[in-house]
Structure 1
Amino acid sequence: MTRLSYRSVFVSDVHLGYASCRADYLLDFLRSLRCERLYLVGDIVDLENMAKRPYWNARHGEVVAEILALAARGTRVTYIPGNHDAPLRCLAGQRIAGIEFALNAVHVGADGRRYRVSHGDEFDAHCATPRWLLRLGDSLQGFVCAVNRRCNALLRLLGWHYRPLSILLKTRVGAAFRFIREFEQRVADDARAGGFDGHICGHIHYARLHDHDGVVYLNDGDWVEHCTGLVEHHDGTFELLHWTEQRLTLARHEASAPVSMPLPVAA
């Protein structure tokens, strides 16, 4: 099988151990590529959900096996735990089965630009959000994921392509859209203050590339609702991919060029 060749690949918010995880699409994505660097940008294994509602199937195990196989073939794999796999943060600085664990990383692109890489949950601390509201948000997220899973099962029976229905809510509900934009601005401001050219993260399940006055915000999305990953080509160009039965380029950030704005995943 001919594999797609990239310099670096970034995936986050896989949530293995959660019923709505689209491990099938991620497995196809991982088996279709070769890369020098693979960054696992948090919430790869949903330890938080597994403590409440244990769930695992063969596809989830196959994703883990494929990641280990990539490391064995020479890909440098860095695992940056997020808030749902936070217990793994105690492994920072260690290397296990070819996988390096870190709290964050600095990625130097092929064009020399420097990007901070982190899960992104650290930027939640800037919001004085009541704990009850966070719990309500988690419950609503679970409900939306369950609806998305059932609707897409029906679409598949009808012979239609996968559609991330939750993106319609996130872009049309004012409070959700404001949260996304404010989160993005905080991340970009922090990157600028740290002297970075950009910041690569996940966490909010909303893939996006955007230039904030010279500082690039890159969110690789998730594999629960939207099935997106971020890849870096060998010339330093970044590309945001949607990967299901229908594979799309959502946005591109050309090396040393302005960022292309993303297209709606559901289009």
Structure 2
Amino acid sequence: MGLRSELHPVENNGYYVMPQACYTLTLAERRAICNFLENLKVPDGYSSNIKRCVNAKEGKVSRMKAHDCHVFMLDQLAPAFRGIVRKERISEINKQNRSKQKIKSHVGTKSIARTIYEMREAPQKEDELPIYIRLWEKTRKGKHNEWQDDTSEELNKKLLELHEAQIRENGEDKLTPEEAYTKILGYRSGYILGMGPGPRPSERGRTNIQHLEEKIRAKVEAEMMTSLQEMEDRIKQDFDARVSALLEQRQLEDQADITN
């Protein structure tokens, strides 16, 4: 699929070797972290003596209690790894991944999720284009109102055609950005194309909320149908019993008339 090519197996003399990820630490780096933890001093009662959990020779930390793990992840992790993480390598990988992007986005310091929130909160004008078209233009155009690439401009035309089709078929356009982008950009498992980092759909073309709503509706509908069927059966039984009782009473009255 071409994802994370730096982690793909590499052939070496007839054998395939798995490259290490950028966050993989060498023994020397692990020992440096362990030395930091061995010399760490904290206030009394802040946590247990983490030095007892450190094996500097092997570069391992073990037997930490839940509270110690919490303190380590919250307060001690960042200073322990300071100077260890290879920022140059991570930056290089990020640049390579960005260069492979076919559709470029321009959102500045704001995330796409924040941009959507602000657009939804703003008062909507009459005859205004739907939010998914305005969002696409805002995140795919530069400072001079020019498209970042030709692909973005072509996809914008398809979004406009989708909007016109919705108006023509339904009289209005109620598509959300997630639904519209899934129709135009396609589907990729666990990812909403064009939306950037954020919530992931549970299945094709549907968000988690929509999927949950449909499940609840189906459950309530099944329960109501069961209740209606039970009620109908009870009414039918009562009706049959009443008819039988009236019929029996009428037969007794007829026999009494004949006897008299």
Class of the TM-score when normalised by the shorter of the 2 chains: under 0.3
TM-score (norm 2): 0.23
Q: In proportion to residue count, which structure has more helix? A: 2
TM-score (norm 1): 0.22
Q: In proportion to residue count, which structure has more strand? A: 1
